[in-house]
Amino acid sequence: MWKKADPPKEEPPEPKDSVQSRPEGLAGDRPRNRQAVAGAGMGSSIRIQGDITGDEDLVIQGFVEGSVDLSKHAVTVGPEGVVKANIKGRLITIEGRVDGDLIAEERVTLRSTARVEGDIASPRVAMEDGARFRGAVDMGEAPKPADGSRSSELLSVSTSSTPSKSSSSSKSKSDSASEVRRGTNASNAKTGSGAGS
Amino acid sequence: MAGWLDRLGRRISSGSSSVPGDQEGDEPERRRITGSTPGIAALLEAVEADGSHSILDLGPAMASSFQLYRRFAHRIRFADLFGEWTKEGWKTALASIPQQARGSYDLILAWDMLDRLSPDGRRELIDTLAGLSAPGAGFHTVIHDSGVETIRPLQFGLLDVDRMYYEPSSSIRLSRTPILPAELARLVEPFRVTRAFTLKGDLREYVAIRS
């Protein structure tokens, strides 16, 4: 009479790649629970003057002056972190303030609260809207033009909402010296869109 | 109407002056304007989106601009000449660009920097940029119409190769020495003006090529 109850379904297994096991999330994958990030943490009241080296990930919430060299690991400067040093890491994420260069083997991410003055060298760089930065970004050697397989997406895991150049640019290539053309009056307001990363 | 009432209400509540012509202390009008930028489109149209270029942006770093630049360039510098970084001013900011970068930039975006400078400063800026760029490099600048005597400094961001936004970066109004179109062509030498466009907001944008 009663509908036979379905056997309990098996719960899908917990993904192995949880936040806890990831020292640093991908762009768009923001580990809000910073405490869960594996590795060493440096509290906001801690001040270090000197060189930091080691073999684990590091989250800096305090003040560092000197150098930070964790080339094989993730370095995060939290919102309260202030670093006056060059930082070397595999993955570098900045939410606080850095006066110094950032050198990452894989990726540098500047969150919206970041304030960075220095140069960045990394094959991938992502910058969130609101991040303040002055300096140069060097994403490595210029790609070989013959390849054609490399696209801008390889430079960052952040997605871009902008269409390709070829689809959106439709102007004539016929420039002439000293020519002054009356261009379009900028109209239509699609306000403030697409500024995020 | 509602916007006008809102602005009036804010002025009354903040007690700020609404006297026309205030040079300073006037309420910052953070209105963002979005529109087309045929000048940037013309500039980027001439280069391949293959990440092989070097871009020097004299303005503050904008995430949306960065996203666009990296389609074209593997080296990008935001000089932020009038940012909060150096109290010494734009010359220090410009001088902080390493000497090894000389001759290396093939796209330079000066935005409204020329408008903010004195005639001597403009010449000095152009001379420095000429040293930082290679022959054939593209140069882009935006200036207010010559009839505009005071300006609010603007900050610009790119949304696509042919769309940008801009908004005042400060509440301070600056007096300026107007730049007539013919003067600009002389001013930016050795960059040679190839295109000019009129934008809304009493702005003109110019594209030039380094000789």
What residue spans define the domains of chain B? 26-210
Helix (H, G, I), strand (E, B) or coil at A92: strand
Look at residue B68 and tell me whether its pLDDT is greater than 60. Answer: yes
Looking at CA atoms only, how far is residue B33 from chain A in angstroms? 7
Q: Which of B84, B196, B199 is the closest to A186 by Cβ?
A: B199
Q: How far is CA B207 from CA A148, A178, A180, B120, in A?
A: 28, 10, 10, 21
Q: What is the pLDDT of residue A23?
A: 38
Residue B13 has pLDDT above 90, yes or no: no
Q: Which of B89, B82, B148, B86 is nearest to B111 (CA)?
A: B82
The answer to whether B197 contacts A182, with C-beta atoms less than 8 Å apart, is yes
Q: For A88-99, what is the mean pLDDT? A: 98
B-chain CB neighbours of A137 within 8 Å are 66, 70, 75-77
Half-sphere exposure of B36 (CA within 13 A, CB side): 16
Chain-chain contact of B163 with A131 (C-beta, under 8 angstroms): no
Cα–Cα dist A20/A52, whole Å: 24
Comparing A105-119, B4-18, B55-69, the range with the smallest average pLDDT is: B4-18
**Does any domain span residue A180?**
no
Nearest CA in chain A to B48: A165
A to B CB pairs, distance under 8 Å: 177
Of the pLDDT bands very low, low, confident and very high (cuts 50, 70, 90), residue B29 is: low
Q: Is some CB atom of chain B closer than 8 A to the CB atom of A137? A: yes
Task: Identify the pLDDT of residue B67.
Answer: 96
Q: Tell me how crowded residue B128 is: count the other CB atoms within 10 A of its CB.
A: 15
Which residues in chain B are closer than 8 Å to A166, comparing Cβ atoms?
49
Across chain A, mean pLDDT equals 69
Q: What percent of chain B has pLDDT over 70?
A: 85
With 60 as the cut, is the pLDDT of residue B31 above it? yes
Is residue A45 assigned to a domain? yes
pLDDT tens digits for range B155-185 = 999 999 999 999 999 888 999 999 998 899 9
Residue at token pair 């902008």: A162
Q: Domain containing A76: what range?
A: 19-138
Across the range A121-128, mean pLDDT stands at 97
User: How many angstroms away from the CA of A65 is the closest CA of chain B?
Assistant: 18
Residue type, A11: E
Q: How many residues does chain A have?
A: 197
Neighbours of A72 (CB within 10 A): 13
Length of chain B in terms of residues written: 211
Q: Is A23 left (phi over 0), alpha (psi -120 to 50) or beta?
A: alpha
Task: Enter the ipTM.
Answer: 0.84
Residue A160 sits at the chain B interface (C-beta within 8 Å): yes
Domain contains A166: no
Unique residue bearing structure tokens 């003057």 = A49
Least CB–CB distance from A135: residue in B53, B77, B159: B77
Q: Are B18 and B11 in contact (CB under 8 A)?
A: yes
H/E stretch holding A107 reads: strand A102-110
Q: Tokens 């093939």, residue?
A: B106
Q: Considering only CB atoms, which chain A residues are within 8 Å of B167? A: none
Instruction: Please give the pLDDT value at position A110.
Output: 98
Q: Distance between CA B63 and CA A130 in Å, rounded?
A: 7
Confidence of residue B194 (pLDDT cuts 50, 70, 90): very high
pLDDT(A113) > 70: yes
Average model confidence (pLDDT) across chain B? 85
Q: Compare A30 and B144 and report the one with higher pLDDT.
A: B144
Number of domains in chain A: 1
Residue with tokens 């900028």: A186
Percent of chain A beyond pLDDT 70? 52
Q: Checking DSSP bridges between strand A40-42 and strand B33-36, what pairing results, if any? A: unpaired
Distance CA B57, CA A55 (A): 37
- What tens digit of pLDDT does each residue of A126-181 get? 999 999 999 999 998 766 554 433 333 222 323 233 333 333 333 333 333 222 33
Give the per-residue pLDDT at B84.
82
Architecture of domain B26-210: 3-Layer(aba) Sandwich (3.40)
Q: With helix as H, strand as E and coil as C, how does A22-90 read?
A: CCCCCCCCCCCCHHHCCCEEECCCCEEEEEEECCCCEEECCEEEEEEEEEEEEEEECCCCEEEEEEEEE
Residue A31: inside a domain: yes
pLDDT of A38 reads 64
Q: Kindly provide the residue ranges of all beta strands, DSSP E only, lying in chain B, ordered along the sequence.
A: 33-36, 53-57, 73-78, 105-111, 133-144, 150-151, 154-160, 163-168, 174-175, 191-199, 203-210
Say which range, A56-70, A76-90, A162-176, B137-151, has the weakest mean pLDDT.
A162-176
